[in-house]
Structure 1
Amino acid sequence: MYPPQPPLARLRTQGFAGYGIAFSPFFPARLAVASSANYGLVGNGRLHILSLTPSTQLVIEKTFDTQDGLYDLAFSEAHENQLITASGDGSIKLWDTALDSHPIRNWAEHSREVFCVDWNNIKKDVFASSSWDASVRIWHPERGASLTAITAHTGCVYACAFSPHDPDVLATACGDGHLRLFDLRQPGGSATIAVPVGGEVLCLDWNKYRPMTVATGSTDRVIKTWDLRSATQAGAGVTPMQMGTPTAALMGHEYAIRKVAYSPHSPSLLASASYDMTARIWDADAAAMAGPPGAQQGGGAGSMRRIHDTHTEFVVGVAWSLFQEGLVASTAWDSETHLWSA
């Protein structure tokens, strides 16, 4: 049903397992991979700056080494040569690709592994981090200390993401099984919405075209999409907010889902990466039309558009090109980064 298709390009980061991957918002041919030695369990990390050549080959432009493994990264939305990395030692580092060695800034407020970083693409001088220490922090790249610390979670915060529609709204994915929304304009750092998702929530992403639409991936192997408008209209103060069923449930992955990413070019297309060694493309609208998520058909026949199954280890990072529609990158514990077509 899904004939295997070789990647358009592939690159091996020898000795370093891929964890996070992102395309530059400034340069169409630039992307970066955050990686770790020994699968991130112990040892060094390496940030790889990659280029896509005119002949569709991936080449390493530059590398930066760190004393601990790197789990995630995010390009600056304000400076074309800068990006941040999240490290297993609890640090966050700011790098400049025009330089050759050391980070230009280092923050060390988290007490455990930093698992996710996200740069605000509206308020471009702010980024967020989430950690296994159950906290989320908001940062300014030129300040030595965090602007805000959110400590409302009761488990590892695996992911955080700013809304692409409202610069003061932040969503988080937590090991306690909840998707949470925070309005950073409100004092106290308590969630305005807390949605019971099911399983440990390992990842999330915002729909780029539909405000208050979020996708989650968790250890229950199901990608769920949520329309949070009804919860926000009902008002804050009820935690957890009982959302009922998601708008769609995308079923097909055989193990936990490690990353979800909405397409920047389509409101319905969604990419995912999983511990089942595959990355997949889904049509969330097709799944929503197939019936209630709780029904047997709730994965939506026809909702899965593509399976990329040429990795040989856990696929933990996936990203869409911002400039070339349908171009997807994935990175995995097999120390390979692949470019492929959705």
Structure 2
Amino acid sequence: MSKFVYDQDLNSFRESYRVWLSNRNYFYQYVISKQIGRSLSIQFTNYIKKENGSQEFRLIVGEDRNEEGKFLVHYSFDYSESSYIETKEDEGKKFKVIEELRFGEEIQRARHRPSDSNKIAAMDGDGLIHLFNLGGNNTQKQILKGHTKEGYGISWNSRQDNLLVSCAYDNNICIWDTNQTDSQISPLYTFKDRLDSLEDIQWNPFDKNVFGCVGDDKKLGLYDIRQKKCTSCITAHSNEVNCLSFQPHYENYLLTSSSDQQIALWDIRKMGERMHTFLGHSGQIYRIDWSPLLKDVFASADDKNKIILWDTSKIGDEQIGRDADIGPPELIFKHVGNRDEIRDFCWSPYIKWMIAAVDDNFCLQVWKIDPDTILENMDDLFISVFDELKK
């Protein structure tokens, strides 16, 4: 299997971006970007199908614009099946602002309710979670108050989506009922069994009562809200565990990623041993997420400006020729179109192979690879790009 790969250890951000810029027409069907305020959060919301056959996709993005203020911004952009790679002159022109909501503190993470893309939960830098509606109906804004420090972990329950779970650097996990109507909501229950900062949390998509949580204590814990306790806890990595992601297509599997530069695949029925370790990052891995449309594919992002795509169906495949120099068989693509650390990314739930990301270069970028890059044999082209980066 061919791979488009940049070796970040050999190149600066600027050099890897230069090579990406000169070769992107070979590997992408769609690339747009926009300079924005500092952002830590991005997620696709809904889309509108237009009469001309194109689609308008929407994103929620947290932005810190310094003196101007801190906002949650609802963006849209038009997409059609025909290929579009923006030029320097066209940068930012595809994006339109639908709505801007001002906040007193920076938004750490914002996610919409599974059944209602206008219902948003947003955690700020004080650990408060703001619950509100997009579309101008913000009179129903509520505050979920239970954390005493900032955090990045919030997750809606896809099977009982009035339930929200959150974690933060105060080491606590809070369960919330978002159907409550009070202006200030207290947690239904708080788990206080962890001894270090908690980084990420997620409900199991196959079991409405179970969620996983990871943190700086290097542990992965599984919790059951019926028993109100951690039912399984293991040391998952040799360093901080920054993120986890349950497999949405196959029951019982999940991923964890760490500052130890590794991604681990687990079977929650037998947590004593990893199923597989994914190696390919040269920095701390802060985000991982399974594709909602490609059942064996997930993406991961590190602090060295890389987003890597992986295909678990390729684990154990034989590698021929130069492929072994580039990476393991399950590593199928590396994107280095960002010029600084990736803060957050999300898969499109509507278009295969499309990802949106925000980085520390104050850039919002949406891209979609050409599936032929993955499915067809393009060894000579891949290797020529790989060799150019080593000059």
TM-score calculated relative to the size of structure 1 = 0.85
**CA pair 146-330 structure 1, distance change in 2 beyond 3 A:** same
* 2:291 is the alignment partner of 1:263: yes
* 2:359 is the alignment partner of 1:332: yes
Q: 1:35 maps to what in 2?
A: 63
Q: 2 CA distance for matches of 1:26 and 1:114?
A: 29
Q: 2 CA distance for matches of 1:334 and 1:161?
A: 28
Aligned partner letter, 2:243: C
- Write the mapping of 1:24-63 to structure 2, written as runs, cut at 5 A: 24=45, 29-37=57-65, 45-54=70-79, 57-63=94-100
Aligned partner letter, 2:77: L
* 2:301 is the alignment partner of 1:313: no
**CA pair 53-43 structure 1, distance change in 2 beyond 3 A:** closer
**CA pair 11-104 structure 1, distance change in 2 beyond 3 A:** farther
Q: Post-superposition shift, 1:36?
A: 3.5
Q: 2 CA distance for matches of 1:135 and 1:36?
A: 26
Q: 2 CA distance for matches of 1:100 and 1:63?
A: 12
- Write the mapping of 1:87-236 to structure 2, written as runs, cut at 5 A: 87-99=124-136, 104-143=141-180, 144-187=185-228, 189-231=229-271
Query: SS of the counterpart of 1:285?
Result: helix
Q: 2 CA distance for matches of 1:168 and 1:336?
A: 37
Aligned partner letter, 1:161: Q
Q: Post-superposition shift, 1:146?
A: 1.1
- Write the mapping of 1:7-86 to structure 2, written as runs, cut at 5 A: 8-14=30-36, 16-24=37-45, 29-37=57-65, 45-54=70-79, 57-86=94-123
Q: 2 CA distance for matches of 1:136 and 1:230?
A: 24
CA deviation string 1:189-239 (max 9, x = no partner): 2343334322100011110111121111110011111112224xxxxxxxx
Contact (CA 8 Å) 1:47, 1:64: kept in 2 or not? yes
Query: SS of the counterpart of 2:63?
Result: strand
Q: Post-superposition shift, 1:44?
A: 5.1
Q: 2 CA distance for matches of 1:25 and 1:288?
A: 37
Unaligned runs of 5+ residues in structure 2 are 6-19, 49-55, 85-93, 370-391
Q: CA RMSD in A?
A: 2.6
Q: Post-superposition shift, 1:84?
A: 1.0
Contact (CA 8 Å) 2:47, 2:57: kept in 1 or not? no
Contact (CA 8 Å) 2:153, 2:166: kept in 1 or not? yes
Query: SS of the counterpart of 2:154?
Result: strand
Which of 298, 303, 324 is 1:275 aligned to? Answer: 303
The alignment covers a number of residue pairs equal to 319
More helix by share: 2
CA deviation string 1:4-55 (max 9, x = no partner): 32773434353x22212111267671221223357xxx99532121112146
Q: 2 CA distance for matches of 1:202 and 1:282?
A: 18
TM-score calculated relative to the size of structure 2 = 0.75
Range moving further from structure 2, 192-201 or 202-211? 192-201
Q: 1 CA distance for matches of 2:242 and 2:157?
A: 20
Aligned partner letter, 1:112: K
Rg larger in structure: 2
Identity fraction in percent: 19
CA deviation string 1:114-158 (max 9, x = no partner): 212111111111111110000111112233211111111111110
Q: 1 CA distance for matches of 2:169 and 2:316?
A: 33
Q: 2:4 maps to what in 1?
A: 2
Q: 2 CA distance for matches of 1:47 and 1:136?
A: 24
Q: 1 CA distance for matches of 2:157 and 2:316?
A: 29
Q: 1 CA distance for matches of 2:132 and 2:205?
A: 24
Contact (CA 8 Å) 1:68, 1:87: kept in 2 or not? yes
Q: Post-superposition shift, 1:166?
A: 0.6
Contact (CA 8 Å) 2:316, 2:329: kept in 1 or not? no
Aligned partner letter, 2:260: D
Q: 1:234 maps to what in 2?
A: none
Contact (CA 8 Å) 1:73, 1:116: kept in 2 or not? no
Contact (CA 8 Å) 1:278, 1:311: kept in 2 or not? yes
